[in-house]
Amino acid sequence: MKLEGKVAVVTGAASGMGKAIAELYAQEGAKVLLADYNFEGAEVVAKGIAATGGTAKALKVNVAELADVDNMIDTAVSEFGTLDILVNNAGIMDGFEPVGDITDERWDQIFDVNTKGVMRAMRKAIPLFLEKEKGIIINVASTGGFSGAHAGAAYGASKHAVIGLTKNTGFMYAQKGIRCNAIAPGAVETNIGSSMKGINEFGMSRAGLTHSLSPRAGKPEEIAQAAMFLASDDSSFVNGAVITVDGGWTAAF
C-alpha cells in the first residue's frame, strides 16, 4: 500500500488516464477526490472504487473556472482532512490548427483548461504543502509539450507551458519538501478526441507525418503506473522532471 493514508486530487478522473490513475491510487490506499466536468462519469468511478474497498468522492469541476478549482482543493481538505498529492490530468485537444488558422477563442479555451487550470490548482495547493513541508504535484503534459508536430499550435503551446511550469515549480520549492514532475504521454487510448472540433486538414496532414511513427497506442493503465511512481516515495529524488511514456515514439526524432 504505497499511498496508505494519503489524500489525492485527480482532475479529469471520469475516464481515460485520470480514471486509471484514481483507481490505482485508491488501490494503493489513497483517498481520492475525483474531479471532472462529467460528474456522472466521476460518480461511476467513485462507486467502483468504493465497491472494491477504496475511498473516493466525485466532484463536478470545470478546471477553466477559478471558483471550481479553489473549491476542489477546499473540498479535498474538508472531506479527507488534508491534501498530499495533486494530479493535474484534465485537458482538451485543439483541431490541429497551425498558427495561421488559430482563433483567439480556441487559443483561450485551450489555455484556460490545459494551462491556467493547472497553474490555479497548483497555486491553491502550494500553501497547504508549505505548511506540511511536504507535497507532490504531477502534471500530465504530452509529448506535444516538447515536440512541435503532435497537435496544433494551441495545444502544443499549452503543453510546452505546462512543462515549463513544472520545471520552475520543482526548482523553486525543492527545499520545501515539495516535488513537482510531469508525465508526457504519447498516443494513448482515451476519449480526448471527443474534444476535437473542426479538424484542420492542413495541420492534420503535417502532424500525421509523425503520428505514423508511433509504435502503438498506450493504455491508460500504463500512464497510471508512471503516476504511481511519481506519487510514491520510490521517486523521492525525482523533481522537476518530465517522464516520457510513449512506447519509444519520440526516441525516433
What does the pLDDT look like over 99-149, one tens digit per residue? 999 999 999 999 999 999 999 999 999 999 999 999 999 999 999 999 988
- For 215-219, what is the mean pLDDT? 91
* pTM, rounded to two decimals: 0.95
User: In the annotation, is 37 catalytic?
Assistant: no
DSSP string, 211-247: HTT---PBPHHHHHHHHHHHHSGGGTT--S-EEEEST
Beta-strand pair 178-185/135-140: parallel
Return d(Cα 105, Cα 228) in angstroms, integer. 35
Assess whether pLDDT exceeds 90 at residue 174: yes
Catalytic-role residue among 25, 37, 155, 173: 155
**What are the cell numbers at 182?**
510531469
User: What percent of the chain has a predicted confidence (pLDDT) above 90?
Assistant: 89
Candidates 98, 55, 58, 97; CA nearest to 75 is 58
Return d(Cα 235, Cα 20) in angstroms, integer. 19
State the residue for C-alpha cell 514532475.
181
Q: Which fold, 7-252?
A: Rossmann fold (3.40.50)
Where are the domains positioned within the chain? 7-252
